[in-house]
Structure 1
């Protein structure tokens, strides 16, 4: 148990530091409807301003629309910007999924936008993660399909994903549980666990994401099974084995942070305050 607590502490220090990066100063402010919402590369800012009506760039801020514009108008301008980025080869995989555009601190949506444009524009996304645990205290981990664009073949939480436009985190968690783990609501008791914020560079831009983490207490005899083809394997591990898997860098960054919160509570490991926030 001493080794497990040490691994939990060391992994938390590593992944919480990665998730708390300072914004790249070369990125320019993205202002949508009169409010600072994201951060974009200068090249993309100039491209959008030159080609999209309703967008302008003054060298410091890419401005989309005006404060008086409706959600529909802002969404329309952003849709044109996303399509331009796709056509210019800046977006490599168009998802065809809409996500709510919010301020970095959250709050009501101001527009909707194609999911694949969010990292390029440094906009906030909201995600959900499920720690699926059994009555005997073990935890399920799922291996991402080798065909996934991001982190193929890495291990993940039992279910996880992005909150779609118009969804609440709870709605999204139940949907992901059904799609990725084949779980019906009666298969588990869902308990809100914690929330954390990730801010870090990615290959496609800048990731700003608020993660809502849940513990799913699975009913006795329930065995998860993937439905959507995004998971290629699943394993049931005790706390020691899960902590070791994370320490070996076999688990995605955000899934590691979600699992580490549960592991710390399970093993009695005290983690530094400030990173994990209360679920609201």
Structure 2
């Protein structure tokens, strides 16, 4: 017997195209101690360098390389570079000049092109620096097959009030992927990961697109606003929530949870009610 044909809804291809877009404004590679880790808005960094606001231990300079111009963050003298210290000094400059996202006091890993960690940086600085981040989502179902979805709190800096997967959150510098899954599942949904059934890694979704420097990845709101660049890999997991158990938010970032049948989820997806990240995670979940 042949496998059933999966019909992909028309919105999916357009959503995937929106998830992979070049920068809206000119950007240059950004390197730390010779290691390229991201990209920066050429005009913004020209203004920051001209104002010389960086800690005197660190130097921000525009240098010509074999592949073109790049911004380089390094030690001001011949001393050893502390990449984490330098990156967070730069993050404070971005914050002081209005080019940083909400300050979270949360460190995210900063890796070079080969995936080697060279340091960490404040979460609010990753979009203006074009640093690749990792996130994790959970698609959790009831035993009957309905999906638990959340409405994001209206106070969220990105996509407030939109619908999302059961859980979605960043992988911090202190976390493994599995630790982030467990921590975020508890903080957002009040569910202990070891009490869920059939927990499995489902796949991943990649994003590379312009965004507001002040957000966690939402599209820019106006002309000239997109001075950040979102590069993110989202690993998603599926699970079943046992009968008699319901998600309950713990951190104030969720307005409410609801359990929807597949028909309702898919209708809301087609109507654009879900965040871009959740929409593509759910497209993967449904095999689209």
After TM superposition, is the score higher than 0.5? yes
Q: Any unmatched runs of 5+ in structure 2?
A: 1-5, 214-227
- TM-score between both structures, scaled by the size of structure 2: 0.83
Match of 1:27 in 2: 27
Q: Any unmatched runs of 5+ in structure 1?
A: 265-270, 272-280
Question: Is the 1:22–1:200 contact (alpha carbons within 8 Å) kept by the matching residues of 2?
Answer: yes
- Distance (whole Å) between structure 2 residues aligned to residue 147 and residue 30 of structure 1: 32
Asked if 1:115 is matched to 2:155, the reply is: no
Note the C-alpha offset of 1:177. 0.5
Note the C-alpha offset of 1:14. 1.8
Question: Is the 1:104–1:124 contact (alpha carbons within 8 Å) kept by the matching residues of 2?
Answer: no
Aligned pairs (5 A) from 1:1-280: 8-24=8-24, 26-50=26-50, 51=52, 52=54, 53-58=58-63, 60-65=69-74, 73-103=82-112, 107-189=115-197, 190-204=199-213, 205-264=228-287, 271=288
Q: Deviations along 1:239-275, whole A, 9 cap, x unmatched?
A: 11111111111100001111111123xxxxxx4xxxx
What is the SS of the residue equivalent to 1:120?
coil
Q: Deviations along 1:84-113, whole A, 9 cap, x unmatched?
A: 1111111252111111112356x2311100
How large is the Cα RMSD of the aligned pairs? 2.0
- Distance (whole Å) between structure 2 residues aligned to residue 23 and residue 91 of structure 1: 17
Q: Deviations along 1:18-53, whole A, 9 cap, x unmatched?
A: 111134561111012212221101123224444233
Question: Is the 2:137–2:168 contact (alpha carbons within 8 Å) kept by the matching residues of 1?
Answer: yes
Question: Is the 1:103–1:124 contact (alpha carbons within 8 Å) kept by the matching residues of 2?
Answer: no
Question: Is the 1:243–1:263 contact (alpha carbons within 8 Å) kept by the matching residues of 2?
Answer: no
Cα distance change, pair 78–69 in 1 and its aligned pair in 2 (3 A): farther
Question: Is the 2:206–2:231 contact (alpha carbons within 8 Å) kept by the matching residues of 1?
Answer: yes
- Distance (whole Å) between structure 2 residues aligned to residue 161 and residue 104 of structure 1: 23
- Give the aligned length: 257
- TM-score between both structures, scaled by the size of structure 1: 0.86
What is the SS of the residue equivalent to 1:76?
helix
Which has the larger share of helix?
1
- Distance (whole Å) between structure 2 residues aligned to residue 133 and residue 47 of structure 1: 49
- Distance (whole Å) between structure 2 residues aligned to residue 160 and residue 17 of structure 1: 21
